[in-house]
Amino acid sequence: MSKKLQSFGFVLLISGTVLFGIMHLAIALYMPDRVYTATPPSAFVTVLNEIYGWVTYILSIVFMVAGVFFSIYGFINKSLQKQVEEIKDRDMQWRQEVSKDLKDEDKDVQ
């Protein structure tokens, strides 16, 4: 499960990055057609409004953030599963040793 989750996170991260790059390419290609007297950040916003690019721009950022989140969660989940397995193994060994010691004590008492 954690491997699939981590892979899904990487796919989201890569697709978000590609979409983000394509949006910036579209903005850069559209900007020379317009003459702006405004500062560059407001020109960027104006172009996003003109090409109706806000949805895809925000979606690319959401994909990147979700991809990072799922990748990190998958990695942490995988690490925790290893620790849980180690704890279960140690517990099983301890129970076997204790039960063996108890059986030995019972034999000594009889």
**pLDDT per residue as tens digits for the range 45-99:** 888 888 899 999 999 999 999 999 999 988 888 778 888 888 888 888 888 887 7
Which range of residues forms the domain containing residue 60?
A: 2-77
The domain tally of the chain equals: 1
For residue 106, pLDDT over 90 is answered with no
Residue 52 — φ and ψ, nearest 5°? 55, 50
- Domain assignment present for 93: no
- Domain assignment present for 66: yes
For residue 22, pLDDT over 90 is answered with yes
Write down the residue that tokens 């989201």 correspond to. 12
**pTM for the whole structure:** 0.69
Helix 54-109 and helix 40-50: axis angle, to 10°?
90
Rounded to 10 degrees, the C-alpha dihedral 45/52/25/60 comes to: 90
Count of other CB atoms within 10 angstroms of residue 106: 9
- Domain assignment present for 53: yes
- Domain assignment present for 92: no
The answer to whether 9 touches 69, Cβ cutoff 8 Å, is yes
- Domain assignment present for 107: no
Looking at per-residue pLDDT, the higher value among 69 and 2 belongs to 69
- Domain assignment present for 100: no
